[in-house]
Amino acid sequence: MLDQATGRLDGKTAAASTARRNRTILANAMDYAVELGLLETNPIRALKWTTPKVSSQVDRRSVVNPRQTRALLEAVRAQQPSGPRLVAFFAVIYYAGLRPEEAINLGRDNVILPQQVWDEESQQWRNPADDDDWGQLHIRSATPDAGSEWTNDGSPREKRQLKHRAEGDSRIVPVHPELTRLLRDHLARFGTTADGRLFGGVRGGELPTITYRRAWIKARQMALTAAEQASPLARRPYDLRHACLSTWLNGGVYPTQVAEWAGHSVDVLLRIYAKCVVGQDELAKRRISEALLQD
């Protein structure tokens, strides 16, 4: 039974993460059988089993650069009818490092944008974002796609607290001026859904996962070369979050600050993005040389 749970239907070994997860599920099910009195002991936990090693590090090849990201966003915008509605959705993942389930649950009250000001010279309202003012996102909850058979109300998504956070915890993420402009444009053009969320389907209601996944697949086909499409580069929308956090780290933002914005602990952040931080070794060598030259 353990071999079946940790293998594939074709008889080959499953991926390490899948094998570990399925073994845990099976062991928990047997624990429950013991609680019910159906078994005296848990046979799964008595078996000797070597835990497969799972790499938690982000593959550097999956991280897009700013030029590639802007090309992908334009490819999303070109898709009708849903594409224009999804540009800001993908943008908050890339520029603010949100998880997709956090971006989908983003409401108007979570977004703090610089207020427009009256320009006496031009006699019109001006966006402070044009002057590089930053906004904020107040992230309070997420709605992961659990499947309608696993939620209490039958909806495909379930509203929960932030990942790795206690109920009621929140975090604040800065809004880059480029993202501010995209959010302003989105709100002016599409407004919000009936329940106040920024992103919804073309016909209203919740944004379906399949909608933004299909749009992303097509955007990769439109914006990337054949070699890039065959690579892990931005294969999933989640890779935009990896690109965001990698950009912050490589830009010199302190890991403690990046971890706070991303909703990670510092040790998890550095372990996951170890391969994506480039150029730091040369900087470290230069600092060591400068230190040794001091009297």
The CATH number of whichever domain residue 109 belongs to comes to 1.10.443.10
**66: its two tokens:** 């700013």
Q: Which residues contact 240 (CB under 8 A, 6 or more apart)?
A: 64, 69, 90, 93, 94, 234
Q: Is residue 266 assigned to a domain?
A: no
Q: Is residue 141 assigned to a domain?
A: yes
104 and 171 belong to one structural domain = yes
Bridge-based pairing of strands 171-175 and 135-139 is: antiparallel
117 and 210 belong to one structural domain = yes
| 125 or 243: which leads in pLDDT | 243
Q: Is residue 260 assigned to a domain?
A: no
pLDDT, one tens digit per residue, over 115-173 is: 765 566 766 656 654 556 788 999 876 776 766 666 676 676 667 766 666 676 788 99
214 and 167 belong to one structural domain = yes
Q: Is residue 30 assigned to a domain?
A: yes
12 and 74 belong to one structural domain = no
Last residue of a domain, one of 232, 254, 287: 232
**Inter-residue contact 200 to 130 (CB < 8 Å):** no
pLDDT, one tens digit per residue, over 17-44 is: 788 889 999 999 999 999 999 999 999 9
152 and 40 belong to one structural domain = no
Last residue of a domain, one of 183, 199, 232: 232
20 and 104 belong to one structural domain = no
164 and 69 belong to one structural domain = yes
Preceding omega of 128 cis (within 30 degrees of 0): no
C-alpha 237/C-alpha 4 separation (Å) is 31
pTM: 0.76
**191: its two tokens:** 């407004």
Q: Is residue 217 assigned to a domain?
A: yes
C-alpha 63/C-alpha 233 separation (Å) is 6
61, 95, 96, 67: which is closest to 275 by C-alpha? Answer: 61
The parent domain of residue 101 ranges over 65-232
Last residue of a domain, one of 212, 232, 252: 232
29 and 118 belong to one structural domain = no
DSSP assignments along 121-182, one per residue: TTTEEE-GGGGT--EEEEE--B--B--GGGSSSS-SB--BPPTTS-TT--EEEEE-HHHHHH
User: How many folded domains does the chain comprise?
Assistant: 2
Q: Residue-wise over 174-185: b if at least 16 C-beta within 10 A, else e?
A: ebbbebbbbbbe
Which amino acid appears at position 5 of this protein? A
